[in-house]
Structure 1
Amino acid sequence: MTAQHEAGGAPTTEELPLSLRGRAAGRGSEPRVVSFGGGHGLYAALRAFRLITDSLTAVVTVADDGGSSGRLRQEMGGLPPGDLRMALAALCDDGEWGRVWRDVIQHRFTSSGSLDGHAVGNLLIAALWQINDDHVEGLDWIAQLLRAHGRVLPMSSVPLTIEADVHPPDGGPVTVIRGQSVLATTPGRVAQVRLVPGAPPARAETIEAVQEADLLNLGPGSWYTSVMPHLLVPELAEAICASTALKSLTLNLGAAPGETADLTLVDHLQSLHLHAPALTLDYVLVDAVAAAKEPALPEIAESLFGAHLRTHPLTSRRPRQHDSLKLAACYRDMLLDSGLLEEDQW
C-alpha cells in the first residue's frame, strides 16, 4: 500500500487485493449507506464505502467555528463549509477530472492578505450558497462539478455551536467550554456536550436519506465534535434510533489529544450511551490492536447497545488515522455477513 492511499488517494483496480477489486458490471442492487461524521474521520469512512457502493450519502456536522470555515461563518453567516468540503473531496471521481478538482477544492491560499488560509472549496461552496440561497442545492452543484460518487448533506439546516461541561485535569470546578475549536484543544474530561440552539432542525433530505438507508454508520472522528452531535439533533436522532437499517459504529483508534485525551474506548461507548440512551447498534467496529488492550469492550458493546464487536486491523501508518482500504475490507465483511452484499457483487 502506498503513502498516497493512506493520504486518501484512490488506488487503481490492479493495486487492490483480489477481494476488494471493483464492482462488477451489472451487479445487483447496491446497499444504500449513510455515514455520519466530519473531518478526516468521515473522509476515511467515505473513501472506504465508495469501494463498496455508489448509493452513498455523507451526513456532516455543521458546528465548525475555526480556521477558514469559522472566518466565513463569522463574515457571511450560514453553515461552516469545511467539513462538507472534506466529504465532497472524499467522493470525487477517480478519473483525471475528479482528481484535479479534488486538489482544487482542497487547496489553501497562501498570501499576506485576507485570503490567507482559506480553502478554495470553502469559497466555492459559500458562493453557491449565496447564489442559490439553499445549502443542499449548493452542495449538489459542487457534487456535480466533482462528479462525486454520492451525496453530501448537512445534519442540520442552521449553523450550530458546541457547548460542553468539562472537568479540568487539576480537579477544579466544572467549566463550560463553548465552541468546537476551543473544545478540541481543551484539556480535561467532557462530562456533557450539547448544541446551541438546543433543538436545531434537521434537513428534510437528511431525514429521508436515513429512512431509506440499508446501513447507518457513525464515526470515526472527533468524538464530541464530529460523532456525537448527530445524536443531539432531536429529529435526526429519532430517525436514526427508529430506523430498521443495519447500524454500525466505527470506533476511534484510541484517545486523541484534546477532548478525549484520557478516554478509553470503553469510556467512548459509555459517553455515547449517556448522550443517546435510546440508540441501539448491530456492530461496533474497532481496530484489533486497540481492542486487545480493552478486554471489556465486547461486554460493554453488548450491554449498552446490543451490539456485536467486530475487530479488524484498521490502522494506517499515519498516527491515529484509519486506513481506508482496511476499513473497506471491514465494511465489506460486515455487509456480506448481514446479507446486504453478495459475493457475486464483487
Structure 2
Amino acid sequence: MTHDKHVEIFGGLEYANHSCNPNASFVMSETDPVVQVVAIQPIAKGTDITFDYNTTEWDMDEKFDCQCGDAACRGHVHGAKHLHDADVLKLLPHLSASNLRHLLKRKLVQAAAVEICVKQDTRRVDGMGGEVWPGAHVLCAHLETHVVALDILRASVLELGAGCGLCGLVTSALGAQHVVLSDEYPDLLQLNIDLNKDWLQRPVEVRELEWGQRHHVPVDMTFDIILGSEITQVGRKAHHPLLQTISWVFHAKSVALLSMDACRSSCEGECDPLKCTASHFVSVSREFGFDVTKHPSVCLTSMASVNACVGALGRKWPLDGTELSAVFELRRRSDHHE
C-alpha cells in the first residue's frame, strides 16, 4: 500500500497509514490522554494497520491528495475519523498521543495478529519450569496493558527462569528490540523460539543462566526490562541469588516485573515474611536497594486464558477460585549506590 504523506498536527501527532477503507480506528478519551486503537475487523498477519482520516470532525487547514489506492478512495484527506461503534480487538489498547506517531511508523500489526505457540515439557526441568504456570498469564496481561508506560518498543528484555519463554515471547510480539530468554535448561526455550520463527522480526536468543553466579552475567550485560513469572515460588533461599542477578543486569532506568502468588486479597507484600513468599521477596528486594510497587492482585480463575490452558500433562490447573497472583515492580532506589 502507498501511504499518504505525514502531516503534523497537535504538536507532533501525525496522520500516517491512511486508507479510505481502513482496518483500524482509534477512540480518544475526553479525560485521559490515551488513544484506544480498535480493529474494525480481524487483521491478518503481515497487513499494515490503516486509519481513515476523511472527516470534517477534526478539520485541518490543508487538504492533500489521497494515495491509499483503495477502490473506495475519496481522493483527498482533510481530517481525522474515529469510529466509536467498531468492534474492539485487543490491539495495543493504550497509546499516549505522544507515542502514536512512533508506533504507527513501526507498523503495529504484529501485535494484533501474532499467535504465540509454546511447547511444555517437564521431563528435564525439575517438573516446574517446563510448564506455563498461571502467573505467566498475569504477567503477560500486565505487559499488554502497559506497552507504552514500559516503552516496550524500544526495550531490551531479559526473562529469568523463563521455562517455556512465554512472557519473553510476548514482549517480542509487542515490539521489543531484543529479547533474551534465560534458564538453567535452555533446550526447551530454543525449541519454542523455533516454533515462533515465522513471526519473529527481532532478535530473541537463549542464554543459560544460573542465579547468583557472576560468571554467567557479563559485566556490560544490562536490560531495560527484566521479567519473571512465579520464579519466586521455588523457595525463599532462592530470593537472594535471584535478586543478586537482577541487580547485576540493572541500569539506572531498568524495571523488573515479577508475577507471584499473593497470600490473601489484602496482601501488599507487607505480611509476615516467614509466612508469605511475596512479602519475603519484597523484604529482600529492599535490602538490595530496590523500591517495590505491587500492582493489583488478580484472581486466577477470572482470566479466560488461565481457565482455558492446560499443563504439560494435558490437565487443567486445579484452581478453586481463591488463588491470587500479582505483579511486583522493582526499580532502583534513587539513593542506592553499588
TM-score normalised by the chain length of structure 1: 0.35
Which protein shows a greater Rg? 2
Structure with greater strand share of residues: 2
| Higher RCO (C-alpha 8 Å, min separation 6) | 1
TM-score, normalising length: structure 2 = 0.35
